[in-house]
Structure formats: structure tokens, C-alpha cells
């Protein structure tokens, strides 16, 4: 379980094909130092299991199912990813409860800067619209956001 509050921007150090999946090594010193083998970690909102770690890097393995339902298959060396450690029961819940199980992949419709914030409009696949409500919570790339507007298949969120 996660909160959608990103703890570190990690950088993909390596991507290695293994069978029908991939192993992804991520350079994220702050988070890596707290991780252990078999811990859950969210990589841009996708819950993954740590299979190896050093003080500065950790490795996860994305299986075929994950690759088919997320954008993980687009990761390359030097890609930046949002990293969040799994929450502890005594942690402050600063965002909203995020499972790390991706329901669907949207596409960016537009991005506009307004003073100190950004308005982002995302097109949500029709089959997932029933889960989106105005002023409700949504996680995009693992970031906990509030739905500011819902117009058809377009969801507007604001990042401050």
C-alpha cells in the first residue's frame, strides 16, 4: 500500500530482458538504502518487488502481465521514474491510499502552466471512467492527485 507521495525521482540504470519480462535496476540512493529483498516499492505507481539492492540502487522484475498493462515496457536506461516505498501502518497518510495495481493507462491530452501550478488533462480509457469522480482521488504515474474536472473522457488535475 502506498500514499501517492513520491519520495525520490529515480533514474533507470539498466534494463535487461529476461524471458517474457524485464529486470529494471534503478538508481535511487535515498530509497535504496531503506529497501530489503522482497520489499514492495512503487515505480511510477506500479507496485514491484525488490529482487536485489545495493546502497544506491535496487532491482525489480516486471513480468509479462505488468508489461502489458502499464508503461513499464517503455522504460529505458536513463528514464526517470517516481519512487515510493510501501507505507508503514504508523506513517502519515499525506496523499490517498494507492494500491500500486494499475487499472489502466491514460494519455496526456494537454499540459498548461498557470503561475505556480500545472493543469494536466489526461484522456482516460472509457472502461475506467466509472471509477473517476470529480474531487475524488486519482494516481497518475504514482502521484496522488485530486480530480479537478471531469469532462467526457478527459480528467483535469492540478500539480502545485
Residues of the chain above pLDDT 90, percent: 89
Q: Quick one: 125 and 77 in the same domain?
A: no
**What is residue 159's predicted lDDT score, i.e. its pLDDT?**
93
Over 90: is that where the pLDDT of 40 sits? yes
| Mean pLDDT computed over 31-43 | 98
pTM: 0.92
Residue 126 and residue 80 share a domain: no
Q: Is 97 within a domain?
A: no
Q: Do the beta carbons of residue 100 and residue 42 sit within 8 Å?
A: yes
Whether 26 maps to a domain, the answer reads: yes
Question: What whole-number distance in Å separates Cα of residue 100 and Cα of residue 48?
Answer: 8
Same domain, yes or no: 15 and 54: yes
Does pLDDT of 151 surpass 90?
yes
The whole domain housing 66 covers 8-85
| Structural domain contains residue 139 | yes
Q: How far is CA 45 from CA 19, 89, 93, in A?
A: 23, 19, 16
Q: Using 50, 70 and 90 to split pLDDT, how confident is the model at 104?
A: confident
Q: DSSP code of 28? A: -
- Asked, for residue 100, whether it belongs to a domain, the answer is no
Assess whether 121 and 71 both reside in one domain: no
Res. 145: pLDDT tops 90: yes
Same domain, 113 and 79: no
Task: Tell me how many domains the chain contains.
Answer: 2
Share of the chain above pLDDT 70, in %: 100
17: domain CATH number is 2.40.30.20
- The larger pLDDT score, comparing residue 108 to residue 89, is at 108
Amino acid at each position: 500500500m502506498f500514499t501517492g507521495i513520491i519520495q525520490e525521482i529515480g533514474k533507470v540504470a539498466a534494463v535487461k530482458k529476461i524471458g517474457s519480462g524485464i529486470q529494471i535496476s534503478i538508481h535511487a540512493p535515498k530509497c535504496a538504502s531503506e529497501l530489503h529483498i522482497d520489499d514492495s516499492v512503487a515505480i511510477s505507481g506500479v507496485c514491484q518487488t525488490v529482487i536485489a539492492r545495493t546502497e544506491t540502487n535496487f532491482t525489480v522484475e516486471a513480468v509479462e502481465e505488468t508489461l502489458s498493462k502499464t508503461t513499464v515496457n517503455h522504460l529505458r536506461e536513463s528514464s526517470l521514474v517516481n519512487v515510493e516505498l510501501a507505507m508503514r501502518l504508523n506513517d502519515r497518510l499525506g496523499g490517498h491510499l494507492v494500491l500500486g495495481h494499475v487499472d489502466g493507462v491514460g494519455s496526456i491530452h494537454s499540459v498548461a502552466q498557470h503561475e505556480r501550478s500545472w493543469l494536466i488533462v489526461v484522456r482516460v480509457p472509457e472502461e475506467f471512467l466509472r471509477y473517476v469522480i470529480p474531487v475524488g482521488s486519482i494516481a497518475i504515474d504514482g502521484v496522488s492527485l485530486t480530480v479537478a474536472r471531469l469532462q467526457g473522457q478527459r480528467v483535469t488535475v492540478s500539480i502545485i
